[in-house]
Amino acid sequence: MNQAQSGTNVVGSNARRAPQCPLSALEARFVDNWAGLARAFGMDATLGRVHALIFVRDEGLHATMVSEALNLEELEAARYLEELVRWGVVRKNTQQGVTSFHADGDPWSWFMTTLKERGRREFGPLIDAIRDANVRAQELRRSLPPQSSATELRRIERIARFTQFVEQIAGLLETFASVGAGPVMSALRMVAKVRGPRLVRV
C-alpha cells in the first residue's frame, strides 16, 4: 500500500502542471496562423507564436504563463520574450518584483516596428555590401583602357544602376518605417480611393 502510494506520488510530482491560462481553440488557431506570418517575415515561428499570445492576451503575461500555454520550457519562453523586447514589439513591466510582458494592440505598430528592425538587422549590412561592390566596379572602370569592350562597360553600369535602385528602396523603407502607422494608413486610403474597388479597403 505504501509502495503504491509512493509510486502515485512520484508520478504526480513528475506530471506537468495544468496551464494557468490555457489557449482556447480560437486562440490556438490565431497563434498558429501568426507563426506562419512570422515565417513569411523571416522570423522564427516560435517567436511569432509567443508574440501572438502576448498580443491576443491584452492583460499581459509573465514567462511562466507563456511557457505553460505554449508548452515551452520556462527559460526558453523567457528567452523568446526578451528577444521580442529587443525587436521592440513587446514591452515589459515590473511591479512588486513580478515582470509581465505586453504588446501594442495595433497590428500596424507591429508591422512598422518589424519592418524597421529587419531593415536595421539585415537590409543595412546588405546595402553596405552592395555599395562596396559598386565602389570596386567604378574603380575598375577608371582603370580600364580606352579600348575596353562595350560589354564590360555595360556590366559596370548595371552594377551602378542596381546600387542606385537599392539606395532608393532603402530610403523608401526607412521613410515608411519612420513616419508611423497613421500617415501610412492615410496614404493607403488615398490610394484606395484613386484605384477604386480593385484595391482592398484598409
Q: Please report, for the chain, the start and end positions of each structural domain, with discontinuous segments joined by +.
A: 2-104, 108-198
Q: Which residues pair with 92 in a beta bridge?
A: 101
Q: Which residues pair with 52 in a beta bridge?
A: none
| 111 SS3 class | helix
What is the C-alpha separation between 55 and 58, in angstroms, rounded? 6
Q: Which residue has the cell 484606395?
A: 192
Q: Which residue has the cell 515551452?
A: 72
Record the cell numbers describing residue 98, joined without a space: 513580478
Q: What is the pLDDT of residues 84-125, one digit of tens each?
A: 998 888 998 988 888 899 998 888 777 777 777 777 777 778
Give the model's confidence band at 130: pLDDT under 50 very low, under 70 low, under 90 confident, else very high: confident
Q: What is the pLDDT of residues 45-66, one digit of tens each?
A: 999 999 999 999 888 899 999 9
Count of other CB atoms within 10 angstroms of residue 159: 19
Single-letter amino acid, residue 193: K
Q: Judge if pTM exceeds 0.85.
A: no
Closest listed residue to residue 63, CA positions, set 89, 81, 47, 46: 81
CATH top class, domain 2-104: mainly alpha
